[in-house]
Amino acid sequence: MFDPGPIPGKRLLRIRLNGRWREDAVADDQLLVDYLRDTAGLTGTKTGCDGGECGACTVLVDDEPIPSCLTLAARCEGRSVETIEGLAAGGRLHRLQQAFHEKLGAQCGFCTPGMIMAAEGLLRRQPDPSEAEIRAALAGNLCRCTGYVKIVESVRAAAAADA
Amino acid sequence: MTAPLPLPRLRLIRPTTVEAAVAARVECPQHEVLAGGTDLLVNLRRGLLAPPALIDITGIAELDEVRTTADRTRIGALVRLDRLAEDPAIASRHAALREAAVAVAAPGHRRLATVGGNLCLQTRCIYVNQSAWWRAAHGACLKSGGEVCHVAPEGARCHAAFSGDVAPALIALDAEIEIAGPAGRRRVACADLYHEEGRAHLRLDSGEIVTAIEVPTSIAHSGYLKERIRRSFDFPLAGVAIACRTEGAELSALRIAVTGTNSRPLLIEGTDALLGRRIDESVLAAAEKLVARQVRPMRTTLFPANHRRSVAAALARRLLGALGAPDAAAGRGHAGGTA
Ligand SMILES: Cc1cc2nc3c(=O)[nH]c(=O)nc-3n(C[C@H](O)[C@H](O)[C@H](O)COP(=O)(O)OP(=O)(O)OC[C@H]3O[C@@H](n4cnc5c(N)ncnc54)[C@H](O)[C@@H]3O)c2cc1C
Ligand code: SF4
Ligand code: FES
Ligand code: FES
């Protein structure tokens, strides 16, 4: 077996989390998803698998949706990270949250934060996506409940609400 | 199900030059190179390896460049797959490379994943790409530290399948890989980066890392097709890349490479015999037969080995047919979709 080596390094991580800069000491081996849930206390981001297979942990890093279980927190130094908690503003639901609510895009809700963040990344790049573009953008986000039809409808409704 | 494991305790080393990365690898050969992390972090969490430190090479700016000259494209090892998929120069020069890049995993993975990481991806098998408790329940195999291979118990080797999508495209396109090590830089043909052994499929010496890929522009037509269990995102059951050139209507160059069937991406031999002929039914049948005879799938996926052999051969026929058709490139592609 390998020598376990010295205790993991720690470093000061400075990131913009949902619009506000903050600093935390993070271990070198801390995944971004664990930083968000355990250090920052933002448990809206979910863990649905043990290795990049479900998309429930999707967050935006510099406007791009990525699975937060596949990147280290230390890698996000100086970057902007957005989670589901950052979307609603002034007590009002975000247009995607409103649309998922109205169009029944969420059933058990476990995949929903990841779905919405992946969809938000898409709408920032492409405000009026086709169904094919929506399905391609959500390809890495699995849902056990809805069968996807209602999710696609929700994203289209949110895009229309924006126009 | 038990909760997913956190990462094993480890340190991050963050070199900013190739030389410093090589020096860190030489100092401790057990350190693993971390690029996009989409393969390595999963394997670490599943306890498949336990390096004392990760050498995070993403701070090496030199490795993140694409440069084009008239006769080649140089792609740094850290160039991300989403960039390869979207770069118009790549699409017009090396269609197979674009089609392979966009066939890897899902969009979120491709924003993190690098081309170097895709080439160096660990081989896969249903008996190892599992959680630690699953493997413990079943018993370890050769690749996970045990005494026997569960796929071929009578043999002495591991048959875990190379499952990267980009390598076959680069092999078909006759690309070279640039490698940096303690003795400086060297180049190898892409096919020569690999061994036919699932436990040690990379022919990298101690201390070496992949730094760049050089793709010649000499082969005009190319493409990549893969088959997978789940269409939205999945590793290939089999994937085939073909690059060819025609003069008049006759083939003047033909290279076929296959992934997902062997422990290395395989360059199909004997395609020269088809040169000088038109891409007609007999050539398609001959290409299909060459692939079916040379691939060696084993029972490393949920699908039977023979099925993967037939799939690889059928993909070769379909892709060569499409490349030979006058409106080549139409009708292929990998528009993703939800599962
Ligand atoms: C759900 C899921 C689905 C996937 N589907 C596919 C798929 O369909 N097709 C596919 O090809 N892959 C797939 N992958 C695997 C992976 O995402 C890709 O292969 C990706 O390109 C790996 O690149 P990376 O930069 O993230 O590699 P990393 O994880 O950083 O590294 C992969 C390996 O290569 C080594 N390495 C990385 N860079 C270098 C270098 N420059 N020199 C030497 N060694 C290096 C690392 O040490 C590690 O062993 C999937 C992964 C997941 C989680
Ligand atoms: S092919 Fe055999 S040794 Fe290799 S990973 Fe599978 S079971 Fe293990
Ligand atoms: S937790 Fe499943 S992809 Fe990240
Ligand atoms: S709503 Fe239950 S997993 Fe998607």
Domain ranges of chain B: 6-57, 66-119+162-325
Residue of A29, A53, A54, A141 to mutate for B, most B C-beta atoms under 10 A = A29
- pLDDT at residue B201 greater than cutoff 90: yes
- B182 in Cβ contact with B175 (< 8 Å): no
Q: d(Cα B261, Cα B168) in Å, to the nearest integer?
A: 11
Q: Does A28 contact B11 at a Cβ distance shorter than 8 Å? A: yes
> Percent of chain B, pLDDT > 70?
94
Q: Does B6 touch chain A (CB under 8 A)?
A: yes
Delimiting residues of CATH 1.10.150.120 domain(s) in chain A: 95-162
Task: Classify domain A10-86 by CATH architecture.
Answer: Roll (3.10)
pLDDT 10s digits, B321-334: 999 986 554 445 44
pLDDT 10s digits, B249-271: 899 999 999 999 999 999 999 99
Q: Token pair 């197979």 is at which residue?
A: B96
- Long-range contact pairs involving A3-8 (C-beta distance under 8 Å, separation at least 24): A3/B52, A4/B8, A4/B9, A4/B50, A4/B52, A5/B9, A5/B10, A5/B11, A5/B52, A5/B53, A6/B11, A6/B52, A7/B9, A8/B9, A8/B10, A8/B11
Please tell me the distance between residue A58's alpha carbon and the centre of ligand 4 in angstroms: 14
Q: d(Cα B174, Cα B244) in Å, to the nearest integer?
A: 11
Q: What is the CATH number of domain A95-162?
A: 1.10.150.120
The alpha carbon of residue A29 and the mean position of all alpha carbons in its chain are separated, in whole angstroms, by 20
Q: Where is average pLDDT lowest: A121-135, B4-18, B60-74? A: B4-18
Q: Does A12 touch chain B (CB under 8 A)?
A: no
pLDDT 10s digits, B67-78: 999 999 999 999
Tally C-beta pairs within 8 A across A and B.
Answer: 126
> CATH fold of B6-57, please?
3.30.43
pTM: 0.95
* The residue type at A132: A
> Which atom of ligand 4 approaches the CA of A56 most closely?
3
Q: Token pair 């476990």 is at which residue?
A: A110
Write down the pLDDT at residue B5: 57
Mean pLDDT in residue range A69-98: 96
Residue of B14, B43, B55, B338 to mutate for A, most A C-beta atoms under 10 A = B338
| Pocket test residue of B46, B135, B150 for ligand 2, highest count of atoms within 8 A of CB | B150
CA distance B108 to chain A (A): 4
Delimiting residues of CATH 3.10.20.30 domain(s) in chain A: 10-86
Please tell me the distance between residue B253's alpha carbon and the centre of ligand 1 in angstroms: 31
What ipTM did this prediction achieve? 0.94
Q: What is the CATH number of domain B66-119+162-325?
A: 3.30.390.50
Mean pLDDT in residue range B221-246: 95
CA distance B289 to chain A (A): 34
Q: Does B12 touch chain A (CB under 8 A)?
A: yes
